[in-house]
Structure 1
């Protein structure tokens, strides 16, 4: 599953938190090469490509390296600290996928179950179909305007299954790519303005799929649907489920959908640069033409510090390196950490 593909590495490099003491020798790491790593990472900051960097390396179950360099906020020259809180965006996905698999182990669903069995809104889905394929009658006519603009939207032939959500073969996307028709539908639906997960489901269930479920792979909002499934199957909000079933057992004390007031001073400014123009509508920001870093989210005005009611399973969490290392160590340790069993080894092997 996606969890295994993302997280099972002999070396895990992530953002850092301070409570760890590093032992390169115990981890079997070269001090000389670690110095080279630091030099490379520092250059990203010194050349203005990144505001700050935190690196941690775990090998053979030991913390072999950690380091922090740069700024939490460039304008104020606020130094990046070991306990800084970051927006982890799509690294929310592995956590929510684990949450759903916990419910799978409890017999709440089968991987081949249709999604609409638990989410009725996802039953009568439609899918985008070009009228002419690119190899129309063995030629390239299907690529030529206006033939390439002719399309139909019809009911899907197959049902979307839960396993399709977990492996991103559902036909859902993010609203960017070469399919301008479906992309426009995502923009019009304004999915990120949903007031909660149910409202989000109502929005995306009306958008045509990019392809028939199970017939292709596309990165997108599938894990947000997984998050809503967790709510439906558990009877808890996604926020409550993750907190009680994953964060507390793993001692992930700084992982939230909303940054608590007493932690805002540890929340970093978010910067971005050199984003292709076709993706910029997602952030609703203009960009520096020279590619320099530009702040797009500040702690004192961030949506992550307001009254968060939409718990995005695909990208809504904030966290620290200490916390995320705890999660990854649990995965690397076959679903258990410090006596807390989150998943069985058999599920991890999937």
Structure 2
């Protein structure tokens, strides 16, 4: 069997990515297997290292969900509370008559948006399979959803005001829609906590877990450990050229006006491993409870109906959805493991854990995904982990 480095090297040598850092943990009591191959950029820069910092994009989502569940554990907000108390912009949402209707053909929402709706991505805002729908186009045009340019986003108050003018695509609780609910969660956390999202995450999660390299910006002193970020200049596949999207001193070198709970964090393999280990220990870290076991169980349990899972297939390949991440409910391939929880990031990142085995897998690269389907690099990595002796099985 090839080593983890061999698997990753094959993708670096083909030119599909400049470099990769990965971590595979086979359960409690065993040291994780870590590999760092290639370089931080295409210009022959510094070699990848275990502590190299990456833009983790949507791998941010489980962290945001955990932070919101901390406030639930604190008793400051309830899972089934309407969010309008803290987000008055969403007090009277309107819904397009049909998903394809013009944005001015709307009806009132039949139920309030709740915290649970946000956590399960069923609030009515977000991306379906068809990005061309009028109400969905507004998310891109008005809110810059999915942009790799955080410094160009507006402040949370302005962002929420713009959101309030965009109709829901479905009634609250009706359908799973991707992405936007995590950004709304970030604003909700800040308003319930009474302080900015970055401060809350640092105090309640990053500092207790020793996630010293995780945040919404990279300090100047750490830019030498930060990767460049690329997209393919043609069809996806080995050997294609790569275009620079963001340099280390670019969009993540200063704190953003809007800290995106959907995809704004940078992090490292070991920081994400620390977060996963906290969840696996039923919310405990270093003898301290950060989350209740009940909240961890809710995060890592599928909450979708079969019809909602089927409709979300473009993004989740038939997986279910917990809070902030997918939950494997089928075992149809080496990368589908019953109960596996986690998510991927559009910048080429992935972080998962398996509550039943204590396994953790983290993969960090710096080339944008060309769509929601995980690229070959991720699939080869997950296949290796499955065959390596219990990492994801």
Fold-level match, TM-score > 0.5?
A: yes
In structure 2, what is the Cα distance between the partners aligned to 1:252 and 1:53? Answer: 20
1:204 and 1:131 map into 2 onto residues whose CA distance is 17
Q: Which residue of 2 aligns with 1:79?
A: 47
Instruction: Report the 3-state secondary structure (helix = DSSP H, G, I; strand = E; otherwise coil) of the residue aligned with 2:177.
Output: coil
Q: Structure 1: any 5+ residue segments left out of the alignment?
A: 1-32, 133-147, 277-286
Which protein has the larger Cα radius of gyration, Structure 1 or Structure 2? 1
Q: Give the TM-score of the pair, scaled to structure 2.
A: 0.69
Unaligned runs of 5+ in 2: 146-151, 299-393
Alignment partner of 1:298 is 2:247: yes
Q: Which moved more, 1:198-207 or 1:262-271?
A: 198-207
What SS does the corresponding residue of 2:165 show, helix, strand or coil?
coil
Corresponding residue to 1:227 among 186, 199, 205: 186
1:46 equivalent to 2:5? Answer: no
Matched with 1:56 is 23
Post-superposition shift, 1:223?
1.0
Kindly state the Cα deviation for residue 337 of structure 1 after the two structures are TM-superposed: 1.5
The 3 A distance-change label for structure 1 pair 150 and 186 is closer
Deviation at 1:127, TM superposition (A): 1.4
User: Which residue of 2 is the match for residue 279 of structure 1?
Assistant: none
How large is the Cα RMSD of the aligned pairs?
2.5
Q: Distance in 1 between matches of 2:187 and 2:103?
A: 34
For 2:133, the equivalent position in structure 1 comes to 180
Farther-moved stretch of structure 1 (104-113 vs 171-180): 171-180
Question: Do the aligned partners of residues 213 and 127 (structure 1) sit closer, same or farther apart at CA in structure 2, a change above 3 Å counting?
Answer: same
Equivalent in the alignment of 2:321: none
Residues 1:269 and 2:228 are matched in the alignment: yes
Corresponding residue for residue 81 of structure 2: 113
Q: 2:161 aligns with which of 202, 222, 229?
A: 202
Per-residue CA deviations over 1:197-244 (Å, capped at 9, x if unaligned) read: 222211212111111110111112101111111111111110111101
Q: CA deviation at 1:178?
A: 4.3
Deviation at 1:176, TM superposition (A): 7.3
Query: Which segment drifts farther, 260-269 or 75-84?
Result: 75-84
Q: Does the 8 Å CA contact 1:68/1:81 hold for their aligned counterparts?
A: yes
> By how many angstroms is 1:64 displaced?
3.4
Question: Tell me, what secondary structure is at the counterpart of 2:96?
Answer: strand
Inter-partner Cα distance in structure 1 for 2:124 and 2:48:
39
| SS of equivalent to 2:167 | coil
Q: How far has the Cα of 1:267 moved from its partner?
A: 0.6
Task: Tell me, yes or no, if the aligned pair for 2:127 and 2:178 is still in contact at 8 Å.
Answer: yes
1:342 aligned partner: 290
Residue 175 of structure 1 contacts residue 186 of structure 1 at CA under 8 Å; is this kept in 2? no
Task: Supply the distance in 2 between the matched residues of 1:118 and 1:39 (Cα, whole angstroms).
Answer: 50
In 1, the alpha carbon distance for the partners of 2:261 and 2:217 equals 13
Whether the aligned pair in 1 keeps the contact of 2:128 and 2:178 (CA below 8 Å) is: no
8 Å contact from structure 1 (residues 55, 68) kept in 2:
yes
More moved, 163-172 vs 72-81: 72-81
8 Å CA contact 2:5–2:36 kept in 1: the answer is no
Aligned to 1:319: 267
| 2:21 and 2:34 in contact (8 A); partners too | yes
